[in-house]
Amino acid sequence: SCDALTPGRVMASATTVRLVISSEVRLVDVVHTASEAMAGLAGFDEDDALNVGIAVREAVINAIIHGNKRDPARMVDVNLQARAGSIRARVLDEGAGFDQGATPDPTSGDNLMRSSGRGILVIRAFVDSVDFNFREGRGMEVTLEKTRPPAAAVDNGGIER
């Protein structure tokens, strides 16, 4: 309902949105907007909701470019689940997968000047957990999760008593 999208209103139960897009970079903005809105429904403030949107955006860009090799016939499936105080995003591509442990460190040596290769670093910076799972014959699944700190920690400037 439209009432569920009222800013500042947090849902009592889980709300799920699923987007299936072709591997076209121009569609990333749609996923970003949906991710940011779902984070807002989960009760995140504007800054944290934006950060969630950016993290999901990066995961989708990786799925489109690296997973599906920009093939518009291959789909990226994005599942967003918001609960009061938390959000989970699952991004699935149809690619061959990758070893995330073997990706070059974008903060070292020659990689500092590269214009790409920072997606995973950005994702990790903006969410609490990231899980990579290669699904044999079905592509890569990346799960991102973010949880709001307890209200007491927020009310005391981030310092728990």
Nearest CA-CA partner of 146 in 88, 100, 96, 93: 88
Q: What is the DSSP letter of 67?
A: I
Structure confidence at residue 119 (pLDDT): 75
**Could you read off the pLDDT of 61-89 as tens digits, one per residue?**
999 999 999 999 999 999 999 999 999 99
Task: Please state the separation of Cα 37 from the chain's center in Å.
Answer: 12
CA distance 49 to 67: 26
The model's pLDDT over 101-135, given as tens digits with 9 standing for 90+, comes to 545 454 445 544 444 455 788 999 999 999 999 88
Residue 117 sits at φ, ψ, to 5 deg, of: 95, 15
Three-state secondary-structure class, residue 46: helix
Confidence of residue 161 (pLDDT cuts 50, 70, 90): very low
Per the listing, tokens 């121009």 go with 26
d(CA 41, CA 43): 5
Contact 82, 11 (CB under 8 A): yes
Q: What are phi and psi of 11, to 5 degrees?
A: -70, 155
Q: What percent of the chain has pLDDT over 90?
A: 64
